[in-house]
Amino acid sequence: MPESAGVGPESRFSLDLSDGLALQPRRVRAAWISDVHLGTRGSNAGALLDFLRENEFETLYIVGDLIDVWQLRRGIYWPQQHNDVIQKILRKSRKGTRIVYIPGNHDEMVAGFHGVYGNISIQSHAIHRTAAGQRILVIHGHELDAVVQNVKWLAFAGDAGYQFLLSLNPLINFVRRRFGLGYWSLSAYAKKRVKDAVSFIGRFEEEMVRYAQTFCVDAVLCGHIHSVCVRQIGRLTYYNCGDWVETCSALVEYEDGKIDIVNYGPLRFPNQPLKPTRSLEAAVI
Ligand SMILES: [Mn+2]
């Protein structure tokens, strides 16, 4: 059955698998998702459910902020789809997917439960080795909030102002659709417009790489700043698996060790401001 995503489900391309065309899910070696922010209206749980249905993982890394407890403290918002995400993840673990849950700052209380629970492991960070032999430090990223000074922007990103901007998105895009224009993300635009935010992202990426160097790894993979990215910074590759609030993006590793960005969001539209799904040669070193 087609699901009803919170934000403009009719604006997304999706495969209808309900008419007997049982497509095999794509099998990938590993996948990374972060910043789903379940419990907020901005969470695109429907898009994430598509991703979870269309892919099978040997290992699924949940790189923090799966549930937004900060927001839930202000008021409970928990539609069925948010349950479906949890159930889908638990079902995958029962069927053999190894789940590695690395708590972030919005779900920091989960960090009180570090340990192994069947196929699910809760830990502060992980070292992943790709099929190509690349060693990747996997970490949420809030560990650097104290180092990267521009915490004002971060507070904003996790706070009411950001939620407000996100809430305007469906309205703006309704009007744009009426005029035959593609999807446009107000909050992504605002983030990109603010010079501080841009320099913040750059500094965050560089500090993250510096932090990772102490782990003797080839790469670092994080979330936290809602800015999907793969780029080489000096000797290390910097990966950010994005979020499921705006970009609806994840990273996947194929059997050959190659790592790709995948997009499941409305930004798949033609005039998308972000880079489309593509192969990333930099990932294989
Ligand atoms: Mn975070």
pLDDT of residue 200: 76
Give me ligand 1 centre to Cα 109, in Å: 13
Give me ligand 1 centre to Cα 163, in Å: 14
b/e string for 104-128 if b means 16 or more Cβ within 10 A? bbbbeebbeeeeeeebbbbeebbeb
Give me ligand 1 centre to Cα 66, in Å: 9
Homologous superfamily, domain 21-283: Metallo-dependent phosphatases (3.60.21.10)
Give me ligand 1 centre to Cα 243, in Å: 10
Which residues have CB atoms below 5 A from the ion given as ligand 1? 65, 104-105, 142, 224
Q: Taking residues 230-237, what's their average pLDDT?
A: 96
Q: Where are the domains of the chain?
A: 21-283
Q: Taking residues 251-255, what's their average pLDDT?
A: 97
Residue 209 — pLDDT band, cuts 50, 70, 90?
A: very high
Give me ligand 1 centre to Cα 68, in Å: 9
- Rounded to two decimals, what is the model's pTM? 0.75
pLDDT of residue 258: 96
pLDDT tens per residue, range 120-132: 999 999 999 999 9
Residue holding tokens 């069925």? 80
pLDDT of residue 156: 52
Give me ligand 1 centre to Cα 34, in Å: 8
Give me ligand 1 centre to Cα 64, in Å: 7
Tokens of 82: 């948010």
Least confident piece of the model among 9-23, 84-98, 154-168, 176-190: 9-23
b/e string for 220-256 if b means 16 or more Cβ within 10 A? bbbbbbbbbbbeebeebbbbbbbbbbbbbbbbbbbee
* pLDDT, mean over the chain: 81
